[in-house]
């Protein structure tokens, strides 16, 4: 049985381009690709356009915004990175996930990351990003990545310590994705660990 190449989708909460959050997500994606064969797609809140913020229900999403939601839902590997605004991920970043089907990310590898002005925002990845994907029953990679302004040179990630975390996250993600791929080759489902199916929380 020949499997299709896995798809890495990075969704970032930046509201401008170029963006350090975008650059961090891309750095993570490229390192994952160094450890496994996978395609890469980047989308952000700008890809979704103003129709994202204007929508109160999924049915009200514009075609552009719905395409971003569906790209996230269809990812084999998701990279989620947001700038930190007022101590949290951006409002539009969270707003998009309000439209993601609650079962869409079950058992999917997710790498979380964030960018901010200084070290005081570093716990956002643990205290806010990780619980968000815990709700979706995603398989969030153990190593999260936070990069502050000083971690970049000309918007390029340059801090050796942050680059080391990027590499660690990429290796962990590739190993997990390969394990899930192996389960598919043996005829199992991607959201079924060896010990049994992951049960999403309802209600």
Domain of 49, CATH number, reads: 3.40.50.360
Domain range for 66: 6-185
Mean pLDDT for 31-43 is: 97
pLDDT of residue 177 exceeding 90: yes
Rounded Cα distance, 21 and 12, in Å: 6
pLDDT by residue (tens digit) across 135-148?
999 999 999 999 99
Considering the chain, what is the average pLDDT of its residues? 90
Please answer whether residues 15 and 90 qualify as being in contact, where contact means their C-beta atoms are separated by less than 8 angstroms.
yes
Residue 36 lies in a domain: yes
**The length of the chain, given as a count of residues:** 203
Residue 52 lies in a domain: yes
- Its pTM stands at 0.89
Please answer whether residues 10 and 43 qualify as being in contact, where contact means their C-beta atoms are separated by less than 8 angstroms.
yes
Least confident window among 32-36, 66-70, 78-82, 118-122? 118-122
How many structural domains does the chain have? 1
Give the rounded percent of residues in the chain with a pLDDT score beyond 70: 87
Tokens of 86: 């007022």
**Which is more confident, 47 or 180?**
47
pLDDT by residue (tens digit) across 80-117?
999 999 889 999 999 999 999 999 999 999 999 999 99
- Confidence tier at 202 by pLDDT (50, 70, 90): low
SS3 assignment, position 154: coil
Residue 192 lies in a domain: no
Least confident window among 65-69, 116-120, 162-166, 167-171? 116-120
pLDDT of residue 131 exceeding 80: yes
Residue 139 lies in a domain: yes
Residue 151 DSSP one-character state: G
Residue 156 lies in a domain: yes
Q: Which of 132, 133, 83, 135 is nearest to 109 (CA)?
A: 133
Rounded Cα distance, 103 and 201, in Å: 9
Residue 194 lies in a domain: no
Rounded Cα distance, 180 and 187, in Å: 11
Please report how the helices 20-35 and 160-185 are oriented relative to each other, as an axis angle in degrees rounded to 10. 50
Residue 201 lies in a domain: no
Residue 14 lies in a domain: yes
């Amino acid at each position: 049985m020949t499997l299709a190449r896995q798809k890495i989708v990075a969704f970032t909460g930046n509201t401008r381009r170029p963006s350090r959050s975008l650059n961090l997500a891309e750095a993570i994606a490229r390192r994952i690709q160094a450890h496994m064969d996978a395609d890469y797609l980047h989308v952000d809140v700008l890809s979704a356009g103003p129709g994202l913020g204007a929508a109160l229900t999924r049915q009200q999403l514009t075609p552009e915004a719905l395409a971003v939601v569906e790209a996230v839902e269809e990812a084999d590997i998701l990279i989620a990175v947001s700038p930190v605004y007022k101590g949290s991920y951006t409002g539009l970043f969270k707003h998009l996930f309000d439209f993601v089907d609650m079962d869409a990310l079950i058992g999917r590898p997710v790498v979380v990351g964030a960018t901010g002005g200084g070290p005081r925002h570093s716990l956002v990845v643990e205290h806010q990003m990780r619980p968000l994907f815990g709700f979706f029953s995603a398989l969030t990679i153990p190593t999260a990545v936070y990069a502050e302004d000083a971690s970049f040179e000309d918007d390029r990630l340059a801090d050796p310590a942050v680059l080391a975390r990027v590499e660690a996250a990429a290796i962990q993600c590739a190993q997990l994705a390969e394990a899930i791929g192996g389960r598919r080759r043996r005829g199992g489902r991607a959201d079924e660990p060896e010990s049994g199916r992951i049960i999403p929380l309802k209600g």
